[in-house]
Structure 1
Amino acid sequence: MATDLSKIQTLLVDADLNTRRILRAMLARMGMDKVTEHANLTDAAGSPATIDLVILDADQAEGAALRWIHAIRHGLTTLNPFVGAIVMTWNPTQQMMIRFAGSGADDILVKPYSPKQVQDRLVNLIENRKKFVVTSDYIGPDRRRSPREGQVVQLIDVPNPLRLKCTGEFDRVNIHELTAHAAQVIDSEKVIRHGFQVAFLVEFALPGLSVHPPEKRAMDHALRAAHVLEDLERRLPPGELRLEATTHIRRMENLLGILKTRGALPADEVEALRREAHALMGLTSRVDDPEKRMNEVLAAVVGYRTRLDQLTLAKTTEAAASAGGAGA
Structure 2
Amino acid sequence: MRALDPTQLETLVVITEEGTFDAAARRLNITPSAVSQRIRALERAAGRVLVRRTTPCTPTEAGEPLIRHGRQLRLLLAEATASLNTGDTDDDGSSDGAVVDLSVVVNADTLATWFRPVLEEVATWDRTALRITVEDQGYSADALRRGEVLAAVTSEPKPVQGCTVEPLGRLRYTPGAAPALVERHRKGRGVDWGAMPMIVFNEKDHLQDEVLAAHGATRPPVVHRVPSSHDFHEAIRRGLGWGMLLDAQAEADLASGATMPLPGARPIDVQLYWQRWRLDSITVDDLSEAVRRAARAQLRPARQPRSPG
**Structure 1 length as normaliser, TM-score?**
0.30
TM-score (norm. length: structure 2)? 0.31
- Give the helix-richer structure, 1 or 2: 1
